[in-house]
Structure 1
Amino acid sequence: MADDAAVLRRTETGELSELNALNPYLQGLYEPVARETTALELTVIGEIPKDLHGAFVRNGPNPAHVPAGLHHWFDGDGMVHGVYFENGKAEYRNRYVWTSDYRAEQKGLEIGAGGVMLPSARARADSGRGDLVYKDTANTDLVFHNGSLMALWYISGKPVRVDARTLESMGNEDFGGALPRHVSAHGKVDPKTGEFCFFDYSLYEPWMTFGVVDAQNNLTNFQKVDLPGPRLPHDMGLTENYIILHDLPVVFTEAGLRNSMWQIKVADQPARFGVVPKNGKGDQVRWFETDTCYIYHVANAWEDGDEVVMTACMMTPNGYPPNPAYGPYASMVNVLALNAVPVEWRMNMVTGEVKKRQLDDRIGEFPVVNLEFTGRKTNWSYHVEMSKQELQRFAGLIKYDLRTGAAQTHRFADGVGGSEPAFAPRIGAVDEDDGYVIAFTTDEATGRSEVQILAAKDFEAGPIARVLLPARVPAGFHGTWAPGDRISA
């Protein structure tokens, strides 16, 4: 457990450096919290449904020490916030993710790597990190597999197993010593087979990999896929039989490659989706070219006759020039201003044709579905509604009908920021949308956080329950739902 004084809030102490006083992602909704908290008795406005059983968990950056030098939002140590529901009651916990780098720094050791605004460890002959080129934070994603969670880092790191009930770290996961390299964020679990399907990529070499881990935690497939050059994919798709890899035109600049710096550009080249049998070989990838674009997050993918279908949020220009008021953080703020719309791509495995259909023009991101339908046709997807401003802020939730693009909305109160939601099927659910949509929210003015629970079938009616939390939950990244009857004791 981190020392309570390890993180000092700027509003209380003024101890951020002059440099980081310009960094908006260390202040306001994004300020780290100083304590790990356990609360077993929570105040509820409304009533928690008794058929809601499991853990709603979310990962995000929470630096364990006050940053002194340049600090990117992605650099913070991973911290998981979770609410466990059972019999109409709720418990709250938050815990740091104990990566190897977190453990070393807690002991005062030099880890040989910094954050993404600094030269990577690749530039240091003495770093001793091999292909781990930045500080490994496991702060990006959470995947529920084999009875527990895995915390994952999107620039590819070592998965950390986390107990879904207590949120205590259980150690690095290497699948019985069989993992050849790393695991990126945004792997998927096939709900029918229990297989965890993942990808990984090299920052500086022209290849990526994909792999499959079975329900008993055995690595059953791991393959290398050659690429025309180094790529920076963020997500993947999964269907019943295929993995969909992304070769997208956001790449390192020549100076970034030369100096081992995270400096990126949009290249003049098409986007490509690589469809490969999930238990196939790397040279079996079939590539489909489409318009130049970048995709951070996939909602779902499935097979429909001869077509492989993928729905995702496609980035569009945000219209904001870099703001010099943020000093050295102007570029970071600009890149983080997500401006994406929901799009469906259909890849015909017979003809090679790609069809693209934009579902809506409103700005949203962080899509989630009922995970029991991962890799199978889904009718519904839940997204966060992005505020139209420079900072990455979630103003509400959008429920999409993926067949028509029709949308329903739930907006948070003024001054309140939300989080990526999760869909929780109710006990005894009879169809895809039979359950609840759950999200953390935080009031920026008061620092008060809560969990809102919405009935999925009555989405615009607002929360049926609000669970008030004893600690502030900073804005963060991705979460998931862990069904109560599948959480390992």
Structure 2
Amino acid sequence: MADDATLASRLPNTTLIGVNEMNPYLQGLYAPVSAETTALDLPVIGEIPRDLHGAFVRNGPNPAQSPEGLHHWFDGDGMVHAIYFENGKAEYRNRWVGTADLQAERAGRDIGAGGVLLPSARARAGSTRGDLVYKDTANTDLVFHNGSLMALWYISGKPVRVDARTLETIGDESFGRALPRHVSAHGKVDPKTGEFCFFDYSLYEPWMTFGVVDAHNQLTNFQKVDLPGPRLPHDMGLTENYIILHDLPVVFTEGGLRNSQWQIKVADQPARFGVVPKNGRGDQIRWFETETCYIYHVVNSWEDGDEVVMTACMMTPNGFAPNPAYGPYAAMVNVLALNAVPVEWRMNMVTGEVKKRILDDRIGEFPVVNLDYTGRKTRWSYHVSMAPEQLQRFDGLYKYDLGTGATQTHRFAPGMGGSEPAFAPRVGAVEEDDGYVIVFVTDAAEGTSEVQVLNARDFEAGPVARIPLPARVPAGFHGTWAPGDQIRTAA
């Protein structure tokens, strides 16, 4: 482990081989780091509020070994980066997620699986929890539940428990060996009950599942939902009483299904949202049909009288043509160029009517809210602003009023790339936006990173604190806030 300020300029030892010399998601902002770092009592520009206590943790892909063949950005081994605040001071750590597949590869064993650009087996030898067909990286999401983190993978893998204070891997999570299959990224925790609600899906068969784990880590419900065909959902909604599942028109092509390859298309079919009691049966689901669209990420959901409300980022065409400079990665680059706008859907549980409202036309994604309001009506959400470039770069943050669509903006310095932020309630806060927005920001040209802390109620005033980091934080995926008084650690 390193505890050395000289790591600020240390770039990875990764050497790009063959076709990966054309892979932009292994270079610049996206290049992996080669070291695990621990740095205590970090320098601060400005002042860290003393009522900020807890950890902002973010997951992302970071190949532990130089990729030799076709490599999708989503294939990298999971690495968690964390900034921990207490008493006006900050600490930084990063650690690889110790998945079973990473441990096997480090031991020199063939795991019998590759990344999503390679053909897959319909089932992996030795898999005891369904069709884990690709390398399981746990690189996508982080959920804070029952005092620690769970690192999750978007193609439905094994949850991996991680200590929220030290980032050391605790091990695979099976909820007392009761989990029948997998858990996709973007499960939600009900802040009132402590329940973790999740979904899972089969790549090649016409169904998905949902489940509930209580505050004591016991699986209390697990249900199957039949579908017209295999689907590739990415997120779900959660309200006080319901789970909202997605049946969306991005599906495998016939050739992809036949050859077990990640080849997708937009089918000519409507989008459907399935509202089901979170503690109910799969056959109690009620489907609401709306015009075709795709959703990567839900903002929040809640109940309003007879209506179930879901706010989410709806994809729109990005308008980019494939760039031949990226060679075999041109299609991957275009798919990753997310263009989305915030939209509200209202599903009437009495009449069956669906109403849709576009909240704003700005291009943004990776939305977060105050997690104390998950499943309940929220007024505020915080999104990244997408730079008008073909590569995925976050050039700032938006604060949205979900009622009016009014927007406040914080821009990063030119050439900087940010991360999905987190909202951290101020200690003792009683109102929804009484707290701080925290974000990792990286300068690709300099190879340096920092953490910015913004006062959520004075969003456009700029950071109240900037914390330069001793290691670069590559662009990545999703994170969360872990309240300091709820973190359980063996350290």
Q: TM-score, normalised by structure 1?
A: 0.97
Letter matched to residue 269 of structure 1? Q
Q: Distance in 1 between matches of 2:166 and 2:382?
A: 27
Tell me, yes or no, if the aligned pair for 1:112 and 1:127 is still in contact at 8 Å: no
Structure 1 residues 52, 13: CA separation in 2 closer, same or farther (over 3 Å shift)?
Answer: closer
For residue 256 of structure 2, give the secondary structure of its aligned residue in structure 1. Answer: helix
Q: SS of 2:170's equivalent?
A: strand
AA matched with 1:364:
G
Alignment of 1:340-359 (within 5 A): 340-359=340-359
Q: Is this contact kept in 1: 2:13–2:34, CA < 8 A?
A: no
Structure 2 residue identity aligned to 1:288: F
Distance 1:338 1:472 in 2: 24
Tell me the amino acid that sits aligned with residue 223 of structure 1. Q
* Shift in alpha-carbon separation, 1:14–1:178, aligned structure 2, 3 A: closer
Alpha-carbon distance between aligned partners in 2 of 1:286 and 1:151, rounded to the nearest angstrom: 30
2:374 and 2:265 map into 1 onto residues whose CA distance is 32
Q: CA deviation at 1:18?
A: 2.5
Give me the whole-angstrom Cα distance separating, in 2, the residues matched to 1:248 and 1:191. 28
Long gaps (5+) in structure 1: 3-8
Classify 1:11/1:178 alpha carbon distance in 2 versus 1 (closer, same or farther; 3 Å). closer
Equivalents in 2 of 1:95, 1:257: separation in Å? 35
CA distance in 1, matches of 2:12, 2:74: 23
Q: Secondary structure at the match of 1:122?
A: coil
Within the alignment, does 1:453 sit opposite 2:449 as a pair?
A: no
SS in 2 for 1:333: helix
CA contact (8 A) 1:156 1:201 kept: yes
> Does the CA-based 8 Å contact 1:29-1:417 persist in structure 2?
yes
> Where does 1:363-442 land on structure 2 (aligned, <5 Å)?
363-442=363-442
Asked whether the equivalents of residues 14 and 66 of structure 2 are also in contact (C-alpha less than 8 Å), the reply is no
SS at match of 1:262: coil
Per-residue deviation, residues 406-428 of structure 1 (Å, max 9, x unmatched): 00000000010000000000001
Once the two structures are TM-superposed, the CA of residue 324 in structure 1 deviates from its matched residue by: 1.3
Query: Superposed, which structure 2 residues align to 1:251-262 within 5 Å?
Result: 251-262=251-262
Q: Work out the CA distance in 2 between the residues paired with 1:461 and 1:165.
A: 30
The alignment partner of 2:122 has SS state of helix
CA distance in 1, matches of 2:327, 2:460: 40
Checking the alignment, whether the CA contact within 8 Å between 2:205 and 2:229 is kept in structure 1 is yes
Shift of 1:10: 12
Whole-Å Cα distance in 2 between the matches of residues 372 and 274 of structure 1? 24
Q: Do residues 309 (structure 1) and 309 (structure 2) align?
A: yes
1:221-254 CA-partner distances (Å, limit 9, x unpaired): 0000000000000000000000000000000000
- Deviations for 1:238-293, whole angstroms, at most 9, x for unmatched residues? 00000000000000000000000000000000000000000000000000000100
Are residues 1:107 and 2:107 paired? yes
Which residue of the partner structure matches residue 207 of structure 1? 207
Alignment partner of 1:121: what SS? coil
The one-letter amino acid of 1:372's match is D
SS in 2 for 1:283: helix
Name the counterpart of 1:36.
36
| Whole-angstrom CA distance in 2 between matches of 1:123 and 1:485 | 42
CA contact (8 A) 1:114 1:121 kept: no
Pair 1:97-2:97 in alignment:
yes
Within 2, Cα distance between the matches of 1:107 and 1:33? 21
C-alpha offsets along residues 198-223 of structure 1, whole Å, 9 cap, x if unaligned? Answer: 00000000000000000000000000
Kindly indicate whether the alpha-carbon contact (under 8 Å) linking 1:367 and 1:384 is maintained by their aligned counterparts in 2: yes
Distance in 2 between residues matched to 1:374 and 1:228, nearest whole Å: 30
Unaligned ranges ≥5, structure 2: 3-8
Q: Check the 8 A contact 2:12/2:31 in 1, yes or no.
A: no
Kindly state the Cα deviation for residue 13 of structure 1 after the two structures are TM-superposed: 6.5
Equivalent residue of 2:279, what SS?
A: coil
Asked if 1 retains the 8 angstrom alpha-carbon contact of 2:450 and 2:467, the reply is yes
CA distance in 2, matches of 1:476, 1:427: 28
Task: Say whether residues 1:291 and 2:291 are aligned partners.
Answer: yes
Provide the rounded CA distance (Å) in 2 between the counterparts of 1:324 and 1:252. 24
SS in structure 2 at match of 1:258: helix
Aligned residues of 1:112 and 1:128 also touching (Cα < 8 A): no
Equivalent position of 1:147 in the other structure:
147
Q: How does 1:318-329 map to 2 (within 5 A)?
A: 318-329=318-329
* Paired residues of 1:113 and 1:127 also in contact (CA < 8 A): no
* 1:6 match: none
1:121 shift after superposition: 2.5
Query: CA distance change for structure 1 residues 259 and 364 in 2, over 3 Å: closer, same or farther?
Result: same
> Which structure carries more relative contact order (alpha carbon 8 Å, separation 6+)?
2
> d(CA) in 1 for partners of 2:357 and 2:449?
37
Aligned pairs for 1:450-489 (under 5 A) are 450-489=450-489
- Displacement of 1:123: 7.6
Q: CA RMSD in A?
A: 1.5
Q: Which amino acid aligns with 2:69?
A: G
- Mapped to 2, the partners of 1:321 and 1:306 lie a distance apart of 44
Sort the Cα spacing of 1:12 and 1:32 in 2 relative to 1 into closer, same or farther, 3 A.
closer
Whether contact under 8 Å (2:341, 2:358) holds in the other structure is yes
> d(CA) in 1 for partners of 2:111 and 2:261?
18
Confirm or deny: 8 A CA contact 2:14 2:65 kept in the other structure.
no
CA distance in 2, matches of 1:267, 1:178: 35
- Displacement of 1:15 in angstroms is 2.8
Three-state SS of the structure 2 residue aligned to 1:229 is: coil
After superposition, give the CA deviation of every residue in 1:312-366 in whole Å (9 maximum; x if it has no partner): 0000000001111100000000000000000000000000000000000010000
Which amino acid counterpart does residue 198 of structure 2 have in structure 1?
Answer: F
Residue 336 of structure 2 aligns with an amino acid whose one-letter code is L
Deviation at 1:41, TM superposition (A): 2.2
Secondary structure in 1 matching 2:460: helix
Query: Structure 1, residues 52-98: CA drift from partner, whole Å, max 9, x if none?
Result: 00000000000000001000000000000001100000000000001
Please give the per-residue CA displacement for 1:418-444, whole angstroms capped at 9, x wherever unaligned. 000000000010200000000000011
The AA in structure 2 aligned to 1:302 is W
**Alpha-carbon spacing, 1:457–1:10, altered in 2? closer, same or farther (3 Å):** closer
Residues of 1 paired with 2:465 and 2:246: CA distance?
Answer: 39
Post-superposition Cα deviations, 1:1-46, rounded to whole Å, max 9, x if no partner, equal 89xxxxxx99876831121010000000000000000001211000
Please give the alpha-carbon distance, in whole angstroms, between the structure 1 residues aligned to 2:354 and 2:308. 10
Residues in 1 aligned to 2:238 and 2:51: alpha-carbon distance in whole angstroms:
29
Find out whether 1:300 has 2:290 as its counterpart.
Answer: no
What SS does structure 1 have at the residue aligned with 2:18? coil
The answer to whether the Cα contact below 8 Å between 2:18 and 2:68 also exists between their aligned partners in 1 is no
User: Is the 8 Å Cα contact of residues 295 and 314 (structure 1) preserved in structure 2?
Assistant: yes
Could you tell me which residue of structure 2 aligns to residue 246 of structure 1? 246
